[in-house]
Structure 1
Amino acid sequence: MTHPSATQRLENKWDVNLAAPMSESEKLLYRSNLLGSDKRITNYGGGNTSAKVIETDPLTGEPAEVLWVKGSGGDVGSIKMDGFATLYMDKLNALRGVYRGAEYEDEMVAFLPHCTFNLNPRAASIDTPLHAYVPAKHVDHMHPDAIIAIAAAKDSKKLTQEIFGDRIGWLPWKRPGYELGLWLSDFCEKNPDAKGVVLESHGLFTWADDAQDCYELTLEIIQTAMDWFAEQTAGKHAFGGAIHHSLTYAARRATAARLMPVLRGMVSDQQHMVGHFEDSDAVLEFVNAKDMTRLASMGTSCPDHFLRTKICPLVVDFDPANPDVEATLAGLSDAVAAYRQGYQVYYERCKRADSPPMRDPNAVVYLVSGVGMITFAKDKATARISGEFYVNAINVMRGADAVSEYQGLPEQEAFDIEYWLLEEAKLQRMPAPKALAGRVALVTGGAGGIGSATAERYLREGACVMLADIDDAALAQTAAKLSARYSTDVVRTINMDVTDEAAVIACYTETAAEFGGIDILVSNAGIASSAPVEDTTLALWNKNMAILSTGYFLVSREAFKVFKVQDMGGSVVFVASKNGLAASPNASAYCTAKASEIHLARCLALEGAEMGVRVNVVNPDAVLQGSKIWEGEWLDQRAGTYGTDKSGLEAMYRDRSMLKRSVLPQDIAEAAYFLASDLSSKSTGNIINVDAGNVQAFTR
């Protein structure tokens, strides 16, 4: 985790000069982003903020009080103005007259659109009534670990009073919704001097009539809780003290890389999952502790934590003092099956007549003593965020158990949140996953024209990509461009020489530790050489064979090892060349090595078929744009072979093709996407020529 140290004080980042010219709604945005910038204040997507603002009614031209409140599914740290729902306060107050009681509170969500101001399409969240019915102009609802540690303690009401006195009240657990909004309204009416309230097993509400005052109050209350915990826990051993020691950093990652592909195969039966590995100090302290198993079995407390991390984690049987990874791997199948069975029993025990069907019964969080935490989700960002939420839960358990007794949500309450019909409706509204969602691709030669174009095509369809290349500067530049477009979650890089066996193995270890495994290999690393056979040195011949034949063998062999342990199929795409099928003058070493690639692909297609691994080839020709192999000597040599200059070479290649068209990196990427996707799920051992037409390269 990258959270600031718990001993570092919260920083008041409010800039009076910057905020002075802002409107009230702009100050709300400013406050929200400041609060969301520190994960000790609230987790990703957690909490919400609001402001009651006087706006001009577009119909009457008269002033109207409007509630601006974070919309459903947003994140306060990254929210923009269009992320807020806007609702007429008079209409929200009118909802009290149609409320039929707690048994019917969910139906109130359908009334919220009737309160919309100015046709704002942003959906209001379930917490809207909690903000609306607090009489203050500005309201913050945050999920700070220090406050939830109080809220999740067995005697949380007593602790709240001890720490805050009458400034901050306390309300017992109640699922978020309209009824809780009325509870909060009643509390404010009876306690007009209170500045906020702790919600049991949930979080913190604070309020003020000024945006800056509200922000500073929120910080003050959280800092007070943090200081109190620091004083109460000084010198104490968390979680009963350590009973295990952590492996070294390298050993932790290597162990995770062994476990993750196996786990990934087991949990991807309904959809491809992506993994995330976390071995921060907070995680290691927890997984090495005496009380880890007891606390983990109790589940999380805050609803946001629970929805992201499931009823409880799976504790993997691993002894770091005797690190027998093979024994752990042998026991994983039974452990995963036992977790699924336990989840099935939990579902059957708690389901109601109208509960949605049981969802994926696999664990989200996997705890490994001495190693760290592994999480799996449908995409990398969700897997990472789930891990962050469980670190929040660890922090909560540390605090609550140190000063009282930690308690998770009661099982039935936890189930009712997980299978809440409103939550199910939200899930049903989510867009369909992209074609490569949950897939992980390794692209060798990933910093070149074809490699980077292929990576971008995969990223556009929802895949995660590991870019491998020997050019660090080009790798960094390519990764920066792709990360800016598709997020840092889904792009990783590694320096890898495909002819170096140890480097290739290390690349797969790193890919497994970063993403959980691999689904797609694009073997694209290459060179090009041109020389008459009598001028072809042994060194030049061997270099072509090492990179274009041996290199393709090494990366494929290691991919097959991962495919086998995952047991979920896979796809290998070789980027070969037209010259693998059609001879070319003054390029015997290059053409022969490319022919070797193609035949290797045929052999691998035979071996991979029984485990659902498809192996296919794309044969480009004359892709000059963005290609590093067309730089320098090779370009001079080919221009000399065909009696033209550099500027005329692309035109020459275009004009000699049957279709008279230039071949671009994006054209190769499109073929590589087709061969990796389910569109070609019944194709293996095939060759697609992307050469604008060359009769000598026809496969038949």
Structure 2
Amino acid sequence: MTTPETNAAVDALVARSNRLGSDPRVTNFAGGNTSAKGAATDPVTGEDVELLWVKGSGGDLGTLRPQGLAVLRLDRMRAMADTYPGVDREDEMVAAFDYCLHGKGGAAPSIDTAMHGLVDAAHVDHLHPDAGIAVAAAADGEALTAEIFGDEVVWVPWRRPGFQLGLDIAAIKAENPQAIGCVLGGHGITAWGDTSEECEQRSLDIIRRAEEFIAARTAALAERGEHPFGPVRPGFEALPDDAPAGEADTSAPDTATGRAGDTARQTGSGPDRASAAAPASRPGRRARAAALAPVIRGLASTDAPQVGHFTDSDVVLDLLSREKLAALADLGTSCPDHFLRTKVKPLVVDLPADAPLDDVVARLHELHAEYRADYAAYYERGAAAARERGEEPPAMRGADPLIVLVPGVGMFSFGRNKQTARVAGEFYVNAINVMRGSEAISTYAPIDESEKFRIEYWALEEAKLRRMPAPKALATRVALVTGAASGIGKATARRLAAEGACVVIADLDAEKARAAAAELGGPDVAVGVAANVTSADDVAAAVDAAALAFGGVDLVVNNAGLSISKPLLETTEKDWDLQHDVMARGSFLVAREAARAMIAQGMGGDIVYIASKNSLFAGPNNVAYSAAKADQAHQVRLLAAELGEHGIRVNGINPDGVVRGSGIFAGGWGAKRAAVYGVPEEELGQFYAQRTLLKREVLPDHVAAAVFALVGPDLPLTTGLHVPVDSGVAAAFLR
């Protein structure tokens, strides 16, 4: 059983972890681990046992909860030192940790568990602070550690995380009673203390002293007119911003203007499949980023589809403008947590910031081919060395870059979902900070290639990847849904997000669009944008928002609509024009802009039109609406025929009688249709249901389900189809 003292120890550990994990300067997302030791009563024997609580595998300090801790018996874990078979069989020790677990539940122990259990201290922190890694990755890191910390912090040469590293640090702690922690070469820092408070303060003290040392050296360089990354290269400075400062504000992007021309180079499959050029003139940084994003995403998805993230923070743009960019990028990242998420090095565009966009696109294709060849060679060298050691490495996971750096524009990062893509970018920002710090105090010297390969293709890492849940049906797909703040659009956005898609919610009402996006889970799942689909600029900005938020667009739902129910003689030209502008012209504009991005990506795509039963059925007092819906219905057939060569499928859905939750019906159309049919407005949905074959009311979720059926994995060869979702209206049967 647990005791109040046990609960207090766990509470203190979680609180300390959350504080440390909340600051990216202290440790990166899901990086580092913390622990506490204490006594608890064994529920079987009734005797006190010593336990270790340590952050479990894959957890994040900033969001850690008690259930994210692994709980082990210290006596059993420390007994493993007597049976440790050596570094050649290191991986066996992680499996053995399972036999040391105490109680029910809890997280799986991580590779760093030994460090925490073997070190003779009640509390241990292992962290990845930028300043600490800058010292750890410096060419003369050992001497710098002594200069900065004296004998209070001890240097530990690079060793892969594992049981032997735990033994090494335990020995250093025992041999250096005055020490408060250590710097792990090429990796990070570890600190310890008798209390949780002391351990935390020692961790922060090590980081503070490293930061102050780096800051002093950086200031000295500045006084001499020097910079750790060298001078700015003329022509590689950041392009002018054309959106709010800082990170791309995809929740409310500025309208992108200056989109010149509709022509694009169109290619088939293979290495050049993403070479369809975006418009040749994009004046601002964000506009240029939005134009390049689908091209880059298509290249980065050659082996497997990826979601993208864009960053143009000052720290990124500064590195991209500097003389040492290429050399430092080629050295790659150092900390294992970094390169596991960023690959060993990025793809770097070597053209000036204002190079013609077509030239940048062409160069991206060349650099991508070179990157893939280089990565394959890296893999073969590492695999050959592994086989010489009698190991069979996992198969190569993919040769595409996860980080792409474009001078003057920013950084594009990629992953299996938005969070993974965003975190990869955050890790590379950490790596930039590390490089800058190392270059300020010495020379950046990360761990060598062979060690990077051994970690990237570690059997333990492969096992962790295999334990991940299977991706959802629409994972990696980016959807743009118009009119998505209510009714059918909102239900569709909700269904697509539930199936794993990233969603851009476009609506006339910006506040409602952002609120709907927040309901779906926030910016790692959905963003809301204001868009009037009758405006070519608004539509372009919405597609740009998808590119900046998620890398591009794969799936478009043309749902925006309205209706004005009037007899022919009462229908004005304004009524006619408004409905055709929103539904016929608007759908055309959205499809055209989305197709441009899809062709640039070279990954295929889906365009779905929410048309209507009225596109086939001749009902009374509805000429403008029904004619506009018929226009949409024929656009489906026309675009299916035209876009098929690019792998883009175009299908439609014909709903009827979707009253509940509908913005159209709530806006007065419901009252008018109810008057036409002579029923109370609140009974209109049931009225529609009773005139159908199935006698069931059609709801927004039914339409959303049809959208998923068309864009999901089960109908991959279907295009040009209209699916009725009307509960059975015989007069609207397709024929």
Distance 2:5 2:44 in 1: 30
2:188 counterpart (189, 192, 203): 203
The alignment of Structure 1 onto Structure 2 pairs a total of residues equal to 678
Three-state SS of the structure 1 residue aligned to 2:229 is helix
**1:599-633 deviations in Å (ceiling 9; x for gaps):** 11110110111111111111111111111111142
Correspondence list, 1:48-447, <5 A: 48-234=33-219, 235=222, 236-243=226-233, 244-250=236-242, 251-320=284-353, 322-351=354-383, 352-353=386-387, 354-447=392-485
Answer whether contact 1:271 1:438 (CA < 8 A) is retained.
no
Answer whether contact 1:318 1:324 (CA < 8 A) is retained.
no
Matched, 1:648 2:683: yes
1:121, distance to aligned residue in structure 2 (A): 4.7
**1:132-152 deviations in Å (ceiling 9; x for gaps):** 011111111110001100000
Residue of structure 2 equivalent to 1:4: none
Residue of structure 2 equivalent to 1:593: 628
Three-state SS of the structure 2 residue aligned to 1:678 is coil
Distance 2:312 2:515 in 1: 28
Matched, 1:32 2:32: no
Three-state SS of the structure 1 residue aligned to 2:46 is coil
Residue of structure 1 equivalent to 2:259: none
Distance 1:270 1:620 in 2: 38
Residue of structure 2 equivalent to 1:6: none
Distance 1:526 1:671 in 2: 18
Distance 1:632 1:548 in 2: 16
Correspondence list, 1:670-681, <5 A: 670-681=705-716
**1:176-218 deviations in Å (ceiling 9; x for gaps):** 0011011011111111221101100011101111111211221
Distance 1:187 1:398 in 2: 29
Residue of structure 2 equivalent to 1:663: 698
**1:207-264 deviations in Å (ceiling 9; x for gaps):** 1111112112211221121112111211242301211321011211111112221122
1:425, distance to aligned residue in structure 2 (A): 1.1
Q: Return the letter of the residue paired with 1:451.
A: G
1:448, distance to aligned residue in structure 2 (A): 1.6
Q: Return the letter of the residue paired with 1:425.
A: A
**1:89-143 deviations in Å (ceiling 9; x for gaps):** 0000110121111221211111110000003352100000000011111111110
Distance 2:557 2:727 in 1: 22
Three-state SS of the structure 1 residue aligned to 2:527 is strand
Three-state SS of the structure 2 residue aligned to 1:150 is helix
Q: Return the letter of the residue paired with 2:494.
A: E
Answer whether contact 1:149 1:399 (CA < 8 A) is retained.
yes
Q: Return the letter of the residue paired with 1:102.
A: V
1:377, distance to aligned residue in structure 2 (A): 1.4
1:515 counterpart (550, 558, 562): 550
Residue of structure 2 equivalent to 1:473: 511
Answer whether contact 2:659 2:670 (CA < 8 A) is retained.
no
Answer whether contact 1:521 1:571 (CA < 8 A) is retained.
yes
Three-state SS of the structure 1 residue aligned to 2:191 is strand
* Distance change (3 Å), C-alpha of 1:21 and 1:343: closer
Instruction: Give the stretch that moved more between structures: 198-207 or 673-682.
Output: 673-682
Answer whether contact 1:160 1:168 (CA < 8 A) is retained.
yes
RMSD: 1.4
Distance 1:462 1:297 in 2: 34
**1:283-330 deviations in Å (ceiling 9; x for gaps):** 01101011111111001111111111111111113312x331111111
Correspondence list, 1:555-634, <5 A: 555-634=590-669
Matched, 1:42 2:32: no
Distance 1:537 1:290 in 2: 64
**1:63-113 deviations in Å (ceiling 9; x for gaps):** 111100000000000111100000000000110121111221211111110
Distance 1:348 1:476 in 2: 47
Distance 1:644 1:283 in 2: 62
Distance 1:676 1:493 in 2: 21
- The two structures have a TM-score, normalised by structure 2, of 0.91
Three-state SS of the structure 2 residue aligned to 1:467 is strand
Instruction: Give the stretch that moved more between structures: 244-253 or 133-142.
Output: 244-253
Distance 1:457 1:531 in 2: 33
Q: Return the letter of the residue paired with 2:150.
A: G
Q: Return the letter of the residue paired with 2:529.
A: I
Answer whether contact 1:25 1:53 (CA < 8 A) is retained.
no
Q: Return the letter of the residue paired with 1:469.
A: D
Three-state SS of the structure 1 residue aligned to 2:524 is helix
Q: Return the letter of the residue paired with 1:286.
A: L
Three-state SS of the structure 2 residue aligned to 1:679 is coil
Three-state SS of the structure 2 residue aligned to 1:556 is helix
Instruction: Give the stretch that moved more between structures: 67-76 or 558-567.
Output: 558-567
Q: Return the letter of the residue paired with 1:54.
A: A
Matched, 1:693 2:728: yes
Three-state SS of the structure 1 residue aligned to 2:302 is coil
Answer whether contact 2:54 2:70 (CA < 8 A) is retained.
yes
Answer whether contact 1:273 1:377 (CA < 8 A) is retained.
yes
Three-state SS of the structure 1 residue aligned to 2:708 is helix
Residue of structure 1 equivalent to 2:254: none
1:449, distance to aligned residue in structure 2 (A): 1.3
Answer whether contact 1:318 1:325 (CA < 8 A) is retained.
no
Three-state SS of the structure 1 residue aligned to 2:704 is helix
Answer whether contact 2:301 2:400 (CA < 8 A) is retained.
no
Three-state SS of the structure 1 residue aligned to 2:67 is helix
Distance 1:65 1:588 in 2: 80
Correspondence list, 1:451-530, <5 A: 451-483=489-521, 487-530=522-565
Instruction: Give the stretch that moved more between structures: 281-290 or 251-260.
Output: 251-260
Instruction: Give the stretch that moved more between structures: 156-165 or 19-28.
Output: 19-28
Three-state SS of the structure 1 residue aligned to 2:714 is helix
Q: Which runs of 5+ in 1 are unaligned?
A: 1-18
Instruction: Give the stretch that moved more between structures: 425-434 or 472-481.
Output: 472-481
Three-state SS of the structure 1 residue aligned to 2:62 is coil
Distance 2:357 2:495 in 1: 36
Distance 2:360 2:512 in 1: 40
Distance 2:703 2:229 in 1: 55
* Distance change (3 Å), C-alpha of 1:329 and 1:160: same
Q: Return the letter of the residue paired with 2:357.
A: V
Q: Return the letter of the residue paired with 1:335.
A: L
Answer whether contact 2:71 2:106 (CA < 8 A) is retained.
no
1:493, distance to aligned residue in structure 2 (A): 1.5
Distance 2:442 2:407 in 1: 25
1:660, distance to aligned residue in structure 2 (A): 1.1
Q: Return the letter of the residue paired with 1:413.
A: E
Q: Return the letter of the residue paired with 2:238.
A: S
1:510, distance to aligned residue in structure 2 (A): 2.1
* Distance change (3 Å), C-alpha of 1:604 and 1:29: same
